[in-house]
Amino acid sequence: MKKAIIFGITGQDGSHLADLLLEKEYQVIGVTRRVSVDTTSRIKHLVNHENVTIVSGDITDAHSVINILKDHQDAAEVYNLAAQSHVAVSFKQPALTWDITGKGCLNILQGLTDLQMTNTKFYQASSSEMFGSNYDTRSQDNDFDSRLPVEKYQNEETKFLPQSPYAISKCAAHYMTRLYREGYGLHASAGILFNHEGPRRGENFVTRKITKWIGDFIKWCITNDVSPKGLHDLLTNDNEIYITEGLKFPKLRLGNLDAYRDWGFAGDYCEAMWMMLQQDEPDDYVICTGETHTVREFLSIAFNSVGIKEWEDFVVVDPEFYRPAEVDYLRGDCSKAKEKLGWTPKHTFEDLVKMMVMRDLS
């Protein structure tokens, strides 16, 4: 039975990856950090699984990382999914983000090297945020006519131009992964994953913030006998939606609605992580859908799926959610992963939005 260690098992991706590895009959060692509240809600269904062992450790503590690796030197695969992964938070807590998201990766790579675990394959969760404000271009449909609109995209060749402490920490970890691959012969691969979401997404990322709000709002309407037709007759003021003075619901407050993201389903992306570690040679791969949509488009599909066409009345654009620097446009090209790994995303953008809304309604 193959053994895999997952740093970050309690996160969105960690939970999907653990499901996948258990299906493939791995023994899973999941690392969780000590916190005063229970963080295992996403892995509740598997903590008692006979092939799962939860161990305590913090990726910022090199000592605890090396002890975990030492106890599991027979691990075939190590996945580093642990991070302070919220971009906006990284502007407020840059040093913490650096320690976890940047230096944490180094602690694992150095541990694998010190313990000479050269048979263990390592996965680093790199991010499309590393591209920041950069993209490459090619003309659409017709290579010869430069008057045609250009297509903007990012792939493994696109230069990084990071726009946040989070992205800069991810770049450091990414380069460190390459260094340990080339300098110390580790089988270390990095997946440059574009945004991926799903019902297990943290509630302060924009997609889940939207679908969670819609779920709560529709439940409030049902409780207060508002019929589907009545949704359009609700009254609003600057900050609230109301039935009567006493029955109010706060509007959804968001920041930049014009950012473009290439959004896919997290479950599909975890499969790509695993596929990377099944290769004989380590390498870096972009994982994405190749489509890009604005936050506004996400809102439209999400609200439409519960019968609300004029959603603008229910949303407030609040500068509090603007970032000191923004990433305006992300759209990946995963031709390499398609060709070398045989990976393709299985869910469309519309499937994803509807799946998230439906789950938050139930």
Q: Which is nearer to ligand NAP, 39 or 51 (CB)?
A: 39
Identify the bridge partners of residue 163 per DSSP, sorted by sequence position: none
| CA–CA dist 319, 255 (Å, integer) | 6
Q: Is 60 in the site for ligand NAP (CB under 6 A)?
A: yes
Length of the chain: 362
**CA distances for 42 relative to 19, 39, 46, 62, 201, angstroms:** 11, 8, 9, 26, 10
- Rg of the chain on CA atoms, in Å: 22
Least Å distance, CB 294 to ligand G4F, is: 9
Q: Which does 22 bind (CB under 5 to 8 A by kind): ligand NAP, ligand G4F, none?
A: none
Count of residues in contact with ligand G4F, rule CB under 6 A: 22
Dist CA 292 CA 288 (whole Å): 10
207's CB contacts (< 8 A; 6+ apart) are 195, 197, 201, 263, 298, 353, 356
Which CA distances in Å does 285 have to 182, 200, 315? 16, 24, 37
According to CB under 6 A, which one of 87, 125, 275, 352 is a site residue for ligand NAP? 125
* Other C-beta atoms lying within 10 Å of the C-beta of residue 29: 21
Residues forming the active site: 127, 129, 166
Q: Which of 10, 32, 195, 305 binds ligand G4F (CB under 6 A)?
A: 195
- The residue range among 135-143, 192-200, 211-219, 276-284 that interacts with ligand NAP, by the rule CB under 6 A, is 192-200
Site string for ligand G4F, 199-218 (x = CB under 6 A): -----xxx--x---------
Q: Does 282 bind ligand NAP (CB under 6 A)?
A: no
Q: Which is nearer to ligand NAP, 12 or 305 (CB)?
A: 12
Confirm or reject binding of residue 81 to ligand NAP (CB under 6 A): yes
Q: 210: closest CA among 330, 16, 359, 91?
A: 359
- From 255, 279, 338, 340, residue interacting with ligand G4F (rule: CB under 6 A): 255
Instruction: State which residue, 31 or 306, has the beta carbon closest to ligand NAP.
Output: 31
Q: Tell me whether residue 41 or residue 335 sits nearer to ligand NAP (CB atom).
A: 41
Q: Binders of ligand G4F among 261-300, rule CB under 6 A?
A: 261, 295
Distance (Å) of CA 207 to CA 14, 203, 210, 250, 257: 19, 8, 5, 18, 11
Q: CA–CA separation, 83 vs 133, rounded Å?
A: 22
The token duo for 353 is 């939005």
- Interface residues toward ligand NAP, by CB under 6 A: 7-8, 10-14, 33, 35, 39, 58-60, 81-85, 100, 125, 127, 193, 195-196, 202
- Interface residues toward ligand G4F, by CB under 6 A: 85, 87-88, 127-129, 194-195, 204-206, 209, 254-256, 259, 261, 295, 321, 323, 326, 330
